[in-house]
Homo-oligomer: A and B are copies of this chain.
Amino acid sequence: MKKIINAVDQVENQMVAGMVKAYPHYMKKLDCGNVVVRAEKKEGKVALISGGGSGHEPAHGGYVGKGMLDAAVAGTVYTSPTPDQIYEGIKAIATDKGVLMIIKNYTGDVMNFEMAREMAEMEGIKVDQVITNDDVAVDGSLYTVGRRGVAGTVFVHKIAGALAETGAELEDVKAVAQKVIDNVRTMGVAINPSTVPAAGEPGFHLEDDEMEVGIGIHGEPGTHTDKLKPADEIVDILLEKILADIDYSESDVAVMINGSGGTPLMELFIVNNHVADVLEEKGIHVYKTLVGNYMTSLEQEGFSISLLKLDDQTKELLDAAADTPAYKEA
């Protein structure tokens, strides 16, 4: 394991501390563990909280700021934050309008966020939730519990955050978050795995001529190992599953080419070159494209493609102003 760290048991604390020191105008850390909240509390509007294990940076702390999240809770690497942490985050950002929890669909995350919600509701805080599950790699029918929440979650932060900023009610913010979840699909691949610091060994093994298809974001193996193929063929494999899952035909879509953390931007642009061509050929109109490291898996080399089918409301909210360290819209 070769990493730029100090101590395995300090990576999360020092990461969050380093993030807060980088962005003091955006965020501050609570005293109860790795919970960051906006530097200035948003008042009179629905507040958004998300989080999960560490190792997905800039998710989720990097999305704390105007037009996106109000709080982000970080567990240890690839491990759910505790209910106590989440509860403290909820309490710190709660307003009369309520709090929306944006949870990626993992058993631990869902359980711990729901426990935190119960604790907050007992304090009279209005809380509701959505669960993202955009990963088409995992078999299962639409909206089964088995589907993982991955990079598409960032679109939920952006669009729900933008609506919350207008002063909308909790039920409306929840509804648009759910609309994004219903219309976003993602699939990923890796050519080199990541190593959880505390484990010291990679989560899976690949030969020099192999890739792992259908990866999640927690360093786990994907659905299967395949021979490494040219970038365009990899894109075709991923797009085939994504496009088969929702009818995107003649739609406007937002595209996210998400790097896994160790992937050079050059390769992500090479990926987008073919994604754009395939979508154009199929009559799918690209409204906006994001290319970069949005939801990572430590140093894993690989990428995911997310396609979000847009309507007028979600287009407008996607374009709305956002000012966070990792996602800005003028």
Taking A6-B230, A22-B276, A264-B262 as contacts, is the C-beta distance between A269 and B303 under 8 angstroms?
no
Query: CA separation between A328 and B257, bound complex, in Å?
Result: 19
Q: Is A321 an interface residue (CB 8 A)?
A: yes
Query: CA separation between A19 and B273, bound complex, in Å?
Result: 7
Q: Is A21 an interface residue (CB 8 A)?
A: yes
- Determine if B234 and A192 form an interchain contact, defined as CB atoms under 8 angstroms apart: no
Residues of B within 8 A of A191 (CB): 2-4
Q: Which of A254-300 contact B (CB under 8 A)?
A: 255, 257, 261-274, 276-277, 286, 289-291, 293, 296, 298-299
For A11, A18, A271, A273, the residue with the greatest tally of chain B CB atoms inside 10 Å of its CB is A18
- Determine if A265 and B296 form an interchain contact, defined as CB atoms under 8 angstroms apart: yes
Residues of B within 8 A of A223 (CB): none
- Determine if A273 and B18 form an interchain contact, defined as CB atoms under 8 angstroms apart: yes
- Min C-beta distance of A81 to chain B, whole Å: 16
Q: Is A125 an interface residue (CB 8 A)?
A: no
Residues of B within 8 A of A130 (CB): none
- Determine if B261 and A264 form an interchain contact, defined as CB atoms under 8 angstroms apart: yes
Contact partner of A57 (CB less than 8 A), chosen from B3, B16, B264, is B264
Q: Is A50 an interface residue (CB 8 A)?
A: no
Q: Is A145 an interface residue (CB 8 A)?
A: no
Contact with B along A205-243 (1 / 0, CB 8 A): 000100000000000000000001011101000000000
Q: Is A246 an interface residue (CB 8 A)?
A: no
Contact partner of A230 (CB less than 8 A), chosen from B5, B228, B286, B303, is B5
Query: CA separation between A325 and B231, bound complex, in Å?
Result: 23
- Min C-beta distance of A228 to chain B, whole Å: 7
Q: Is A39 an interface residue (CB 8 A)?
A: no
Q: Is A323 an interface residue (CB 8 A)?
A: yes
- Determine if B18 and A270 form an interchain contact, defined as CB atoms under 8 angstroms apart: yes
- Min C-beta distance of A49 to chain B, whole Å: 20
Interface size on A, residues (CB 8 A): 65
Query: CA separation between A278 and B135, bound complex, in Å?
Result: 42
- Determine if B4 and A265 form an interchain contact, defined as CB atoms under 8 angstroms apart: no
Q: Is A7 an interface residue (CB 8 A)?
A: yes
The chain B residue with its CB closest to the CB of A260 is: B264
Taking A54-B266, A55-B266, A293-B293 as contacts, is the C-beta distance between A17 and B273 under 8 angstroms?
yes
What are 17 A-B interface contacts by the 8 Å CB criterion?
A3-B191, A4-B231, A4-B263, A4-B267, A4-B270, A4-B301, A6-B230, A11-B266, A18-B271, A18-B273, A21-B272, A21-B276, A62-B265, A265-B293, A265-B296, A293-B293, A328-B328
> Besides the contacts A19-B269, A22-B269, what 19 more A-B pairs have beta carbons closer than 8 Å?
A4-B267, A5-B270, A6-B230, A6-B231, A6-B232, A6-B270, A7-B230, A11-B266, A11-B270, A14-B273, A18-B269, A18-B272, A22-B276, A55-B266, A57-B264, A57-B266, A58-B265, A264-B296, A330-B330
